[in-house]
Structure 1
Amino acid sequence: MKVLFRERQRFRQVWLWVLILGIAALFWLGFVYQVLLGGAFGNRPASDVQLAIITGLVGVGLPYFFYKMSLTTEVVPGELRVRFWPFHLKPVTIALHELRDYEKVTYNPIMEYGGWGIRWGLKGKAYNVYGNKGVKLYFYNRKSLLIGSQKPDELFDAITIAKQQKV
């Protein structure tokens, strides 16, 4: 099947990475201080083995998890596919004949949807990882869905073409 549009996005917010790497660094500093230098990290320190496990999970696992997390949007004739890895093992498929309307939008991720990710708000559901632009889909039989995109014009145009083509 011919792919008319494909976009893969990752979390790129500087404040988010400062927070994640700051938390990871705190655990690494605790590990170095307690395990390698022989001090006690905190008022009630964990054992060296427990601290090593926690440091591995938070100090390596958390940054790796956020680094690998991605939102992939594909438009093919008759369908829009959205996959938010690792939460979707298979893409969420939206048949374009179910759309009543769609539009390019600029939105406020925090005020309208409570942030980035897979979000539910008063205005419907959203898949977004970065920025404040996207395409909002309106359905005949359910609430709207916002697809965040760094290329909203291309996504909108691809949906227009794919909606006219047969699967």
Structure 2
Amino acid sequence: MINKPEFTESQKFSQWWLWLLLFSVMIFTIYNFAENRQYFSTFELTLSFFIPILLIALFLVIRLETKINEQGISVRFFPFQITFRYYPWRNIKKVYVRKYSPLIEYGGWGMRRGLFGIGKAYNVKGNKGLQVILSDGKKVLIGTQKFEEIGTFLLKIK
């Protein structure tokens, strides 16, 4: 069997400030309801406990997965996308790595749409990504923590 080159990357939300914020909200919410429990029903108290826990669980399972091979580029933002979004090379006009501003260009991290035709972005952290310009002019930016590795891989397979 021939070993075909493939680049893969899986990223998660691992920023310390995000986790501090999530746990702070959870602790504040639970404390606030515990201190004022006489004003709330059992359902509201139960909900106030489980919503922050579910939010933390969601952030634990969210991951951005990227695969690049000789056929094209695949990306998915699990669990919001169960299947990969596939971009074959024949539909890609240009691809390159670049620095970008997640907040200014796309309004933050996650699955985002930029304003004024800037395109779609998939990112979880950082400010480096793979810019894909499709044949129809649409743009997709895929965040990466393997900035140099992805650039080297693209040179190798082209």
In 1, Cα distance between equivalents of 2:155 and 2:45 = 53
How much has 1:14 moved relative to structure 2?
A: 2.4
When the two structures are superposed, what TM-score results if normalisation uses the length of structure 1? 0.82
Are residues 3 and 83 of structure 1, via their aligned partners in 2, closer, same or farther at CA, if it must alter by over 3 Å?
Answer: farther
Are residues 45 and 159 of structure 1, via their aligned partners in 2, closer, same or farther at CA, if it must alter by over 3 Å?
Answer: farther
In the TM superposition, what are the counterparts of 1:14-163 in structure 2 within 5 Å?
14-30=16-32, 33=34, 40-41=36-37, 45-58=39-52, 60-122=53-115, 123-162=118-157
One-letter identity of the residue aligned with 1:49: F
Question: What is the percentage of aligned positions where both structures have the same residue?
Answer: 32
Are residues 27 and 140 of structure 1, via their aligned partners in 2, closer, same or farther at CA, if it must alter by over 3 Å?
Answer: same
In 2, Cα distance between equivalents of 1:7 and 1:110 = 22
When the two structures are superposed, what TM-score results if normalisation uses the length of structure 2? 0.87
How much has 1:139 moved relative to structure 2?
A: 1.4
One-letter identity of the residue aligned with 2:146: K
1:69 touches 1:86 (CA, 8 Å); kept in 2? yes
SS state of the match for residue 12, structure 1?
coil
Give the alignment's Cα RMSD to 1 decimal. Answer: 2.0
In 2, Cα distance between equivalents of 1:3 and 1:50 = 53
In 2, Cα distance between equivalents of 1:143 and 1:158 = 23
In 2, Cα distance between equivalents of 1:54 and 1:153 = 44
In 2, Cα distance between equivalents of 1:91 and 1:19 = 30
How much has 1:124 moved relative to structure 2?
A: 1.1
How much has 1:55 moved relative to structure 2?
A: 0.8
2:92 touches 2:135 (CA, 8 Å); kept in 1? yes
Deviations 1:104-161 (A, max 9, x none): 1011110111110011113111100010001101111032111100012222333444
